[in-house]
Structure 1
Amino acid sequence: MKHIIVPATSANMGSGFDSIGIAFQKYNHLWFIEIEEGLEILINRKQKLKIPTDKNNLIYKTMVGFYELIGKQMPGVRLIQEDYIPLTRGLGSSAACIVAGLMAANDISGCNYSKEELAQIAAKIEGHPDNSNPALLGGMVVGALDKEEMRHVKLKMPENLSFAVMVPDFPVETEKSRGVLPYTVTRKDAIFNSSRAALLVASMITGNIDNLKMAMDDRLHQQYRLPLIPGMADIFKMADVFGSKGSYLSGAGPTLVSVLTDDTVSGFSEKMNGYLSTIPHKWTLEVLKPDLEGARIISE
């Protein structure tokens, strides 16, 4: 059997709505092998939400779609899935399944598509590239998608950054989180976000991380999703007090992320864990470094 790992991803990064994302060193695992016929799926690690073990499994559905795209018959497969990316928490669990399915199908079919070609397919499946790009390519990636193609740039980030990932014990469904967003925004808010997104990219490239607090501010999605995530505003305020360089809502939520320098990790973690223990709901804080490689087959 071959073994694929796919990193967790954090989309939007505040102002980069549906366009900017980053990969973290937290992984889903997939072992796969072609069999004579049929479908066998084993889930090694249970989560609160049940993962389908039939043809409704997202990894398998993605593989079927890949084979339809290349005009070949889908063979029988055995899949072993071991997930450490939490479901419905805004850390790219769906994108990880799509990327794993594409890589497995690409390998079994012998197509040998490049990561760039797979990134084009994944972005169109997802409808936006901010999770699928970093899942495949690693690092922090800026992407734009139109009807014909997706373009992207992988940024070189400062090496001394870590990310405090705060995950609550309640989910927020992506459909519900997208449903609260307005169809139109004012010119003022559009200018606000375009300037912040540009500042975010420029600051990461140049290492001017003191800009991140402003650069990660947003008026396209976070203010509308605030009521869905109890404690979000206060956690952001306390993150500033405890030394965060900037904080944002990860994807559709409810996970919150604060950007830290490596030398502030221990102090921030101790203080933030203390604060999180005093508010409603259970929050889990994990400090992660960026994954710079993206999805890969690591062994057989």
Structure 2
Amino acid sequence: MNAASEAASGAAVRVRVPATSANLGPGFDAFGLALSLYDELTVTPGGSGVTVEVDGAGAGEVALDESHLVVRAIRAGLESLGASIPGFTLRCQNRIPHGRGLGSSSAAIVGGIAAAYGLTGTPLDRDRVVALAHDLEGHPDNVAAAALGGFTIAWTEGPAGRAIRLEPVEGLAAVAYVPDTRVLTKEARGLLPSAVPHADAAANAGRSALLVAALTARPELLLTATEDRLHQDYREPAMPESLALVRKLRGIGLPAIISGAGPTVLVLTHPTRPSADPGSTTQIPGPAPDGWSRYELEIDPVGVQVWSGDAS
């Protein structure tokens, strides 16, 4: 049976895709980490139009037609597989906050492309998902982590997005502090200078290399390895409270960073790291500031997942 006929078979497809944190301090536009906070999609083919239902983050705000980002990603995925579906129903259960630096748009894109694979009965090609998602998103760091899980390093070769997955050190986890306010990626990028001092670029290159070691084998080095001179301070005008929190947490020994384009603050944790408070036995950072939400997250090990079958 070919892909087009599989796509029209009527079997529902369920997709789970993780939140992600990009940059991780010095690894600007290259590093990503998959987190245990998930959007879930159900796609049921049938009819001649598209019906979109959204619960959770974005409900009442996002488009409910062909312009919905997941729908566009499904269409792009089907086209890349040589298949098409006249109509389908898309149900989204969104838990990843929008506009907070946790990869909500990358999750939508990767989830939609993965759904296209499920709808056609095609085994999931994660490298191809990364490449196509990069084309839609414009940069590969978040989409790589959403597609591959774990800790990822992404890059471009010509126009193509590529990535590899590395195994995070056992016990690595994260705490996310998420403010109520949003920051658009375009706004955050617009604050970056066109050139940076050579010393800052060299420092970031060294810290990026060190961060690979810290995330995969030497978590006691996370505080030093997450130092950044390339992007976080430049973005302070768009998220002053986030940068203040990063400095406060780092001041007591916690490896805090801006997650992606912000304004979420992410703290990397590991049982072997010394506690920030000498009188405490916990490695978990404290409560969120007023008006912020706090998530204790594990590292998602597998990335996007697809199941075909009953949508109930």
* Structure 1 length-normalised TM: 0.90
Once the two structures are superposed, residues 241-265 of structure 1 have per-residue CA deviations (whole angstroms, 9 ceiling, x without a partner) of: 5552x11100100000011124769
1:97 pairs with 2:121: no
1:209 corresponding residue in structure 2: 219
Q: Give 1:29's aligned residue.
A: 40
1:293 aligns with 2:302: yes
2:87 to 46, 57, 76: 76
**1:272 counterpart residue number:** 286
Residues 90-137 of structure 1: per-residue CA shift (max 9 Å, x gap)? 000000000111011222234445112111111222222110111011
Give the 5 Å matches for 1:1-150. Answer: 1-45=12-56, 47=58, 50-150=61-161
**TM-aligned CA deviation for residue 46 of structure 1:** 5.2
SS in 2 for 1:75: coil
SS state at 1:192 partner: helix
Distance 2:269 2:302 in 1: 21
Distance 2:58 2:143 in 1: 22
Deviation, structure 1 residue 273: 1.4
Q: 1:208 to 1:43 in 2, by over 3 A?
A: same
Task: Give the 3 Å change call, closer, same or farther, for CA 68–199 of structure 1 in structure 2.
Answer: same
Query: How far apart are the structure 2 equivalents of 1:98 and 1:266?
Result: 40
Q: CA deviation at 1:40?
A: 0.9
Higher alpha-carbon deviation: 234-243 or 113-122 = 234-243
Contact 1:178 1:252 in 2 (8 A): yes
Q: In terms of mean alpha carbon deviation, does 118-127 or 145-154 score higher?
A: 145-154
Give the number of the structure whose residues are more often helix, by fraction: 1
Deviation at 1:235, TM superposition (A): 1.6
- The equivalent of 1:259 in structure 2 is 268
In the alignment, the residues of structure 1 paired with residue 250 and residue 283 of structure 2 have an alpha-carbon distance, to the nearest angstrom, of 10
Paired letter, 1:128: H
Residue ranges of structure 2 left out of the alignment (5+ in a row) = 1-11
SS at match of 1:78: strand
Deviation at 1:66? Answer: 2.7
Matches of 1:163 and 1:46, distance apart in 2: 21
State the secondary structure of the residue aligned to 2:240: coil
Supply the AA of the counterpart residue of 2:287: N
- What RMSD, in angstroms, separates the aligned Cα atoms of the two structures? 2.2
CA contact (8 A) 1:242 1:272 kept: no
Write the deviation string for residues 51-74 of structure 1: whole angstroms up to 9, x where unpaired: 211111000011222334445444
AA in 1 matched with 2:180: D
Give the equivalent residue in structure 1 for 2:229.
Answer: 219
Q: Equivalent residue of 2:173, what SS? A: strand
2:22 and 2:260 in contact (8 A); partners too: yes
C-alpha distance in 2 between matches for 1:46 and 1:157: 28
Mapping of 1:146-295 within 5 angstroms?
A: 146-205=157-216, 207-240=217-250, 242-244=252-254, 246-262=255-271, 267=282, 269=284, 272-273=286-287, 276-277=289-290, 282-295=291-304
Q: Aligned equivalents of 2:281 and 2:138: distance in 1?
A: 38
Residue pair 2:100, 2:264 contacting (<8 A) in 1 also: yes
Alignment partner of 1:231: what SS?
helix
Distance 1:158 1:73, change over 3 A: closer
Does the Cα contact within 8 Å between 1:123 and 1:145 map onto a contact in 2? no
